[in-house]
Amino acid sequence: MRRADTRTLDANEAVADVAYRLSEVIAIYPITPASPMGEHADAWAADERPNVWGAFPQVIEMQSEGGAAGAVHGSLQAGALTTTFTASQGLLLMLPNLHKIAGELTPFCMHVAARTIATHALSIFGDHSDVMAARNTGMALLCSNNAQEAHDFAAIGHSVTLRSRIPVLHFFDGFRTSHEISKIVVLADEDLRQLIKEESITAFRSRALNPEQPTIRGSAQNPDVFFQSREAVEPFYAAFPKLLKEVFSEFAQLTGREYKLFDYIGVPDAMDVIVQMGSGAECTQETVEYLNAQDRKVGLIKVRLFRPFSLVDFLSVLPPNVKRLTILDRTKEAGSSGEPLFQEIASALVMALSAGKIANMPKLFSGRYGLGSKEFTPAMVKAIFENMTSPQAKLRFTVGIHDDISHSSLNYDPNFTIEHKGLTQCLFYGLGSDGTVSANKSSIKIIGEETSLFAQGHFEYDSKKSGSTTVSHLRFGPKPIHATYRITKADFIAIHDAEFFEKRDVLSAVKPGCTVLVNTASPPDTFFSSLPSPDRKKLIENNCRLFIINANAVAEQAGLGRRISTVMQVCFFRLAGVLPFEEAMEHIKNFILKTWGKRGSEVVRRNLAALHGALEALQEIPLPKEVGTERLRRTSIAANAPAFIQNVTQLLLEGRGDDLPVSAFPVDGSWPTGTSKFEKRALAPEIPVWQSDLCVQCNYCAMICPHAAIQTKVFDKTELAGAPENFLNVPVSFEDSLADKLFTVQIAPEDCTGCGLCIEVCPARDRKAPKRKALVAEPLALHREKQARHWEFFTHIQSANLASLPIDRRTAVLREPLFEFSGACAGCGETPYIRLLTQLFGDHLLIANATGCSSIYGGNLPTTPYTVNREGHGPAWANSLFEDNAEFGLGMRIALETREKSARWLLQQMADRLPQALLAKLNDSGNGHEWAALRRTALKELRDILLKDTSPQSQELLKQIDALAPKTVWLIGGDGWAYDIGYGGLDHVLASQKNINILVLDTEVYSNTGGQASKATPLGASAKFATAGKSSRKKDLGLLAMSYGHVYVAQVALQSHSKQTVQAFLEAASYPGPSLIIAHSPCIAHGYDLVKSPGQQKKAVASGMWPLYRFNPQNIDKGESALVLDSNAPAIDVAEYMENEARFKMVQLRSPERYNILLEAARDAIKQRRSLYEQLAQIHLPPERHHG
């Protein structure tokens, strides 16, 4: 055994570290929670880190997991040691290739951060539903339960697959294991080399396709031979367990860490035993050890190797006295007689009984737990053991939820916990943007790597992209930590924003003597009394020590803006007592120097200033004896909110969703729309305040707002009745025909994220004090209550009828948005397009939404932004998958067409009994609110007639009348979908000639999973998997679509050229065939302050990087060119655009030479593209004579 090298990292990094060092080719595609494995591999490859044989692995990002699996298969056939990483839907896309790879007995080890498969809803969190869907592929399924095991099993997997020829799917729990940081012993290159037998590599390579000794694989076999031929693999499966044991044994000799196919934990004479795999077994192990200490005869069998299942080895660890076995599955197979692990164990035991290998069959129980990363705690384990011996035992059960519908769930005592001597447990509530998680990661690294203590960090995030909440759970102690669940009794609680006291029970885990640290701007003398009284009570009753710091002020003073992480980290080390303080300070200083020294001296200086400032500003608040006046948390949900919002959404917002029973939920995943307005997040420190005397009524503010938090309205004077005091409005001045109407700009103060875009684009200035625009940023606190009242009134004002006005960029935004207050990033460049879409067509809109940012801010709980107008109409929205959105939307369109056709046939049958005027209205095709309103009126008229008509046709038409209701189908998705994973489908749908509208929100990068390059990434930009700067040109999706000749195509840029955007949306909607709009969407992944996005987008257009155009095939029939260029020839050098974004700047900081080369290439690409477009815009084609 060599000297152990320890590091503190998460399982994703621990696994990638081994997989990279043992591979030659890595083909991947990003998917949560496995993306970091690919990203680490890519970063190492970019920095030319060699594998254990001194070669440099090649990492390639594919267009989908299906593509990655195909590349893997090919690479293996050509003899390269190959790996991949994936999860969930990604694994499903790989399944066909996995069958092939296994059928061909190809050595290959892949790594899966196990994640829920989307069913009634998507979940990015962990369970085994993905892995279990792969259990018939023939892959060996190897499960690790923590970061150390994941690191070890990665090596073991790569070793055993080469020896056995059976490919290995190594998996570990998504998030709980993949993202949990802990201290592990790292395998040395030498260890890895020893584990891999040289001859097994030679044998693998000798089987590679090779024209020197040609063979063919993948033949097609007939009924005469397929079966026998398939059975030929059987000896390899039979040999696998033995070979794995051999590797385990060698591994133990090398490292001292022993593993078995099945590991038994507990007393030898256990009578009640749990069988389990994954991180939950860690918690079960803890509980078993605790119960054994209390003389309970219980045990645990950890399943390491699920497939090929080794009955002999299973029986060898089964305690001889076992009477009852509970098999726990972290997945649900609806309609099955038992979940997969249960079925495997049950059938194995039946075989054992039949074969006489066991005398008696233990009583079997089957339990489901932990779906979608649901908590799994010692209390639940205890309940499972109790269930086995209970007279009312449930043979099949769930645990961890309250199932009040099927009554499957076990009751458990939520207060039961296991004491850990010497363990320090710390909880942190932070904001996604304040750096809490990153700082905690560095604290764990400091403690893990600088002391002999064991450390564990687990992080919970919500899914908002602005103002998200993070909860960090940090544990430190002298013994290895197996607690795979949240902290419920904390020694230290840090609340990084005092607002959390009003949102959730942040002190629920407080224990006697707990230290509580709060970041607040409140003065010390009033802070305690400002808290809700239940919190005051808890602090006093538990003899807590309370400390406060104005971290924002310290950070601001140090020049770090709102980045309070260094400040709070120093306070943590000062108060938590994990390390002697001076020592901790040294470590933090070293960390700052090591991590940020590479950026520059000023960065270091400011962080050190924050460190010193923190110590001075930290102060203890002595607790009074009395709790003081009673005051409950300010609830964010209005008292008049619908019952569902009060009963369900409210709990989700408070972080108490776990308490909701099964009956609280719709059975099929349907969810009410219009819920975001009930979540008053009040994120903006400053909000825009309208200066009505300056406003020029341009409406740019409402057009650009990513959150529909600033809106404009034109209304009749009579609407002002009952207006709150000082509700501002001015006469309409932008349109003569509305001169008698009023105009107002209203801010939703609690929904604004404070991005500042509205102020940025406001063109109006005070002639006497030009600093004052028609929108001025002022502190939320000063305006919150008043503006909230004004907003409430504003929402009830009836808009003037604008039907007579042409729709343009100004009038479009006067219409009611039906997409509001999403969780998108402050300054998001995508959401204004969606908001505009709902303003134009929202009341008759069906949306098919590809997975990605737009499906997350569009459909992630707790609250969602699509909403309804006062008539109750609004967008109906669904997300199918990432890869299939075009097909999904096409399906919607076809269904609507078919249903409409059928209804129209009936209508035709009744034509002579219906008024001609009505028929004309029903046959009038179109789009937009006015058209939809007319159609609805006509349908009402029709319904009234049909109700009086008892003929069978009439009755049938009545049933189908909904098919005649106004509907338009739009497909929304990002560039990852449209350019990469969904391109095949998109192409097919474009080819279909169906009347379908496609909006591509092009951020030029996979935004949702964290900035991986897509084929939309522009030449010269750095992105993950294109670290050195992308050298190929951005795919010209628009040009490809134009080549069909029947597709309407537009390229738009709303933030700077909204007039053309509105024009394109209207044209696309009225175009009878497929239309494609490619929308420039500024994104935080571009690396600049998004408040500058209008100017930056202007540069993108002016430099030719983002040409604006509309291609309308209908022009051809008019004798015009189909392509109309809406932007001029490049007027500025593209460098002026590129130098403002970190994604381009990084390339220069990495290699100025390469930057210059790419810059030149970008200039050339722009010139060529412009030239091509100019020529296309001159082309006049003869009209088509036969349409259809």
Partner 1 sequence: MANLTTDWLGLQLKNPLVLAASPVSKDIEFTAAAVEAGAAAVIMHSLFEEQLIHEQMGAHYFIDTRLDLDAEARSLMPESDLFPVDGEHYIYMLKKIKQRVRVPVIASLNGATPGGWTSYAAKLQEAGADALELNLYDVITSKDISSALVEERQIAIIESVVKQLQIPVTVKLSPFYSSLPGFVAKVEKTGAAGIAVFNRFFQPDISPDELNVDRTLHLSSSQELPLRLHALALLSTQTNLSLACTGGIHSGMDAAKAVLAGAHALQVASAVLQRGPQAVRDILHELDLWLDKMNYAHVADARGVLNLHSAPDPHAWERLNYAKMLAGWQLRKVF
The residues binding partner 1 (CB under 8 A) are 32-33, 35-36, 39, 42-43, 46-47, 124, 175, 432-433, 435, 437-438, 441, 459, 461-465, 468, 470, 559, 561, 563, 565, 595-603, 606, 765, 767, 770, 856, 1007-1011, 1022-1028, 1084-1085, 1087-1088, 1142-1143, 1145-1146, 1148-1150, 1152
**65 is known as an active-site residue:** yes
CA angle 474, 478, 481 (to 5 degrees): 50
Whether a cis peptide bond, with omega within 30° of 0, leads into 308 is yes
* Whole-angstrom distance, CA of residue 308 vs CA of residue 239: 9
- Cβ atoms of 244 and 305 within 8 Å: the answer is yes
Q: Shortest distance, CB of residue 682 to partner 1, whole angstroms?
A: 19
Q: Shortest distance, CB of residue 546 to partner 1, whole angstroms?
A: 27
Q: Shortest distance, CB of residue 721 to partner 1, whole angstroms?
A: 38
Tokens representing 40 are 């680490």
Q: Shortest distance, CB of residue 720 to partner 1, whole angstroms?
A: 32
**24 is known as an active-site residue:** no
- Cβ atoms of 27 and 163 within 8 Å: the answer is no
- Cβ atoms of 334 and 314 within 8 Å: the answer is no
Tokens representing 51 are 């594998």
CA angle 613, 575, 497 (to 5 degrees): 65
- Single out the residue of 122, 133, 121, 91 nearest to residue 333, CA to CA: 133
Catalytic residue among 32, 377, 387, 997: 32
- Single out the residue of 314, 332, 323, 308 nearest to residue 361, CA to CA: 323
**590 is known as an active-site residue:** no
Tokens representing 497 are 């924003």
Q: Shortest distance, CB of residue 756 to partner 1, whole angstroms?
A: 16
Q: How many residues does the chain have?
A: 1188
Helix, strand, coil shares of the chain, percent, nearest 5, are 40, 15, 40
Burial class (CB in 10 A: 0-12, 13-18, 19+), 838: buried
Q: For residues 1053 and 1085, which CB has a smaller minimum distance to partner 1 in the complex?
A: 1085
Q: For residues 161 and 519, which CB has a smaller minimum distance to partner 1 in the complex?
A: 519
Tokens representing 698 are 């341009």
**1008 is known as an active-site residue:** yes
Interstrand relation of 710-715 and 140-143 (parallel, antiparallel or unpaired): unpaired
- Cβ atoms of 813 and 710 within 8 Å: the answer is no
Burial class (CB in 10 A: 0-12, 13-18, 19+), 909: middle
**Partners of 490 in the β-ladder:** 510
- Cα 19 to chain center, whole Å? 25
Tokens representing 232 are 């030929």
* Whole-angstrom distance, CA of residue 972 vs CA of residue 1065: 13
Catalytic residue among 851, 1008, 1017, 1027: 1008
Crossing angle of helices 280-293 and 378-389, rounded to 10°: 60
* SS3 at position 111: strand
- The rounded radius of gyration (Å) of the Cα atoms in the chain is 32
- Cβ atoms of 1027 and 43 within 8 Å: the answer is yes
Q: Dihedral of the CA atoms 938, 944, 946, 949 (nearest 10)?
A: -140
Q: Can you say whether the dihedral through the CA atoms of 149, 150, 151, 156 is positive or negative?
A: positive
Please spell the DSSP secondary structure of 1120-1188, one letter per residue. S-SEEE-SPSP-S-HHHHHTTSHHHHHHHHH-HHHHHHHHHHHHHHHHHHHHHHHHHHH--PPPPS---
Q: Shortest distance, CB of residue 976 to partner 1, whole angstroms?
A: 12
- Single out the residue of 776, 764, 797, 767 nearest to residue 698, CA to CA: 764
Active-site residues, by number, are: 32, 65, 115, 1008
